[in-house]
Amino acid sequence: MTIKENYQFAKQAYAKWGIDVEEVVEKLKKVPISIHCWQGDDIAGFEVNQYELSGGIDVTGNYPGKATTAEELRSDLEKALSLIPGKHRVNLHAIYAETDGEVVERDQLEPKHFENWVKWAKENGLGLDYNPTLFSHPKADDGLTLSHPNEEIREFWINHCIGSRKIGEYFGRELGTPALTNIWIPDGYKDSPSDRLTPRKRLKESLDKIFAVESDEKYNLDAVESKVFGIGSESYVVGSHEFYLNYAMKNDKLCLLDTGHYHPTETVSNKISSMLLFSEKIALHVSRPVRWDSDHVVILDDELREIALEIVRNDALDRVIIGLDFFDASINRVAAWTIGTRNMIKALLYAMLVPNDYLRQLQEEGNFTERLALMEEFKTYPFGAIWDYYCEKMGVPVRESWLEEVKAYETEVLSKR
């Protein structure tokens, strides 16, 4: 059977449950995923003075061909985007500024240092998101930034974050879609602290100073991101989930949930519905923790499907800002982007092809037998045929055929670096 014939067969199967597949496909086309640039160069960035990766982050592997310039990184992103259906966004860190060989400290970065990124985004119809980089820097060597006891160091990072929000606002104004500017810090202690409150008090004061500077929400959305622990901050992290959840709610900021930043027995999918009750919007960094915050490439596992289901069944596609955050240097980096992003989109498609309203009704009626039976049966419904049709319709490779393009790109481009 052809892709179209398979699609028609699958379409009829879903129609029996009142699911309009054509409507689903049109809706999926409008969902942007924010693709993180740092998978392409192992979070090295392009600062003139490059510093060793720090902040409790580690990238393992030495697969050849990583991007070493902004031009190479943009080329690699273009290749990945050509293999991913839909129109999406790119997420930048401050260390990806282009300064023409000039040493520019992070607290001095300006919109002009990202003009090439904005020009490229316009040419490719992309939105841009942004993150201040509060790691891999001498002023973060002891693992503290916005909560540092040294006021001079705190002010450096405060000014960096203020400047970052201006850069995010610049992105939003130029591209006609608001940038998400997300603050994450590595601050914490390796061993049990004797005082948990004071660093958190300093962090609160630093954030208050950052957000006291006006930023137009039409162009820039502010988010704060928690973490449970990191390498070098195993016992205590200043910016915990409880800290940022309360700060975001009190100060009308977005709370960003990273799927790798919680205890292994916690799931972000279980948090989404609670967050949506009290927040107009939330943000996600979708990763795959294996035993810890290891940032593996996203696969179509149970938790990814459950995250997508929570977004879709709660009619929150326009309320949940979806970004990715993984980095693997043991495999082809363009393939990593392609695998992870296609899987995020697949999960959303899967969720849209489930009779969520009927399953909700069964739960309300206490009919748990039929609910469980149908939830299991829909796991093997022919959603793959809809996915193949969607890819073909969007002009990207169907099934694993995209891998041949990545292999060719590796031979022609990556292997020559």
- DSSP class of residue 219 equals T
258 is catalytic: yes
117 is catalytic: no
Out of 293, 303, 310, 328, which one is annotated catalytic? 293
DSSP 68-122: -SHHHHHHHHHHHHTTS-S--EEEEEGGG---TT----GGG--GGGGHHHHHHHH
402 is catalytic: no
CA distance 380 to 271: 26
CA distance 349 to 195: 47
Out of 310, 325, 328, 410, which one is annotated catalytic? 325
Out of 184, 337, 387, 402, which one is annotated catalytic? 184
Number of H helices and E strands in the chain, helices first, is 14, 12
392 Cβ contact partners less than 8 Å away, ≥ 6 residues apart: 3, 398
Burial class (CB in 10 A: 0-12, 13-18, 19+), 369: exposed
Out of 225, 303, 328, 388, which one is annotated catalytic? 225
- DSSP class of residue 297 equals P
315 is catalytic: no
Out of 36, 113, 261, 346, which one is annotated catalytic? 261
CA distance 309 to 304: 9
293 is catalytic: yes
Q: What sign does the CA torsion over 21, 24, 25, 26 have?
A: positive
184 is catalytic: yes
Cα radius of gyration rounded to whole Å, the chain: 22
Out of 137, 227, 241, 253, which one is annotated catalytic? 227
- Two structure tokens written together for 298: 């996203």
Out of 295, 303, 310, 410, which one is annotated catalytic? 295
H or E stretch including 365?
Answer: helix 356-365
Out of 76, 285, 337, 388, which one is annotated catalytic? 285
Question: Which residue(s) pair with 129 in the sheet?
Answer: 91
Q: What sign does the CA torsion over 283, 182, 332, 61 have?
A: negative
Out of 41, 258, 303, 410, which one is annotated catalytic? 258
Residue with tokens 């039409």: 218
392 is catalytic: no
Mind telling me the catalytic residues? 184, 225, 227, 258, 261, 285, 293, 295, 325
